[in-house]
Amino acid sequence: MRRILLTVAYDGTNYHGWQFQEGQPTVEGELNKAILSITGEEVCVEGASRTDAGVHAKGNLAIFDTEARMEADKFAYALNSRLPEDICVRASIQVEPDFHPRNVPTEKTYKYRIYRAPFPDPLKRLYSHFTYYPLDIEKMNQAAAFLVGRHDFKSFCSIYTQAKTSVREITEARVEAEPIIVPESQTTSGRQTTAEGETTAEGEMTAGRQTTAGSQMTAGRQMTAESQMTAEGQMTAGSQMTAGSQTTAGSQTTAGRQTTAEGQMTAESQMTAESQMTAGSQMTAESQMTAEGETRAETLGSDEMFHGRQAMDVIITVKGYGFLYNMVRIIAGTLIEVGRGRIPPDRIKEILEARDRRAAGPTAPARGLTLEQIQILGRE
């Protein structure tokens, strides 16, 4: 009889947990059926971690005994051809006949994923817990630090736990956040208003330029025609006068021309000044709009992550040598309350000392939790 150790990954959405339950789909039940179809043996796979319904895993461990002659590493390939697509055996090796992953020192790594955004993402709904509340990551990390070490975690376990002792040791607890780019339809109305404002402003500026240009051309044509008519009239009158009168007329003509010229110069100066003012206003408006846009971009990059407008993935990582029933999910639920400002970070010490489930936060939904790895200590 040989003992085979499996490393198993699975999407727990469609299963009532790891452990076999009569009449219910479970991960253990699917593995038992697949092994039966290969070896013809009815076996009962035993897992290192009996995850709850809806919880996922990337590296759970399980063992089973067999008399089949198949090479140990080939079991992974044979099982995957018979398992449903949401369960995968990532490795299979032969171990000592008395080896059991629950009876050797191990360090487990869990990650709880939270999607924080104004709106949910349908593609994340099965593998993360959604919240639209702003979360203060710094305060969550301050609270998580109080969990590291050896403590009595009775406040952080289900009242239905059957463990002999609630003392456990956490080796690492941290919270990380990664900003996410979401489609424009999910951004705030402020951005949309800004975009519409820019379009309107550009339209108004364009219309202003066209109106100014049209006015300049019309005024120019009118002034030229008036100048021509005035000059022609003065010259005709001058030709009908006597020499002495012609001199006077000539003076008048000259004066008229000077006046007309001065008028043209004045009008041109005014139009030039108006054009400069229009251009200056346009440049000022564009500069203001650009500056506002840059300021908003800077604010979005630094501030909005923590004030409800920036989408982000939040990952709570917890490592330890052993965990109680629902322990990680209660830790996650409590840290979320800290992030929302409902529990101060330093109250974690009081919650631990209370040894009362009612003192901690709620149990976070199962879908956000993934068993990442089980490391067997002292074993290559």
Q: Which residues are catalytic?
A: 52
CA 380/CA 376 separation, integer angstroms? 8
Closest CA to 357 of 161, 165, 162: 161
Cβ–Cβ < 8 Å for 174, 380: no
CA 187/CA 311 separation, integer angstroms? 9
CA 214/CA 60 separation, integer angstroms? 77
CA 184/CA 101 separation, integer angstroms? 48
SS3 190: helix
For every residue of 273-316, DSSP letters joined together read HHHHHHHHHHHHHHHHHHHHHHHHHHHHHHTGGGTTSS-EEEEE
Closest CA to 118 of 183, 197, 175: 183
User: If you count them, how many residues does the chain have?
Assistant: 380
Q: Which amino acid is at 296?
A: R
Cβ–Cβ < 8 Å for 176, 314: yes
SS3 130: strand
Other beta carbons within 10 angstroms of residue 69's beta carbon come to 7
Helices and strands: H and E segment counts in the chain: 7, 10
First to last CA, the chain: 23
CA 41/CA 71 separation, integer angstroms? 16
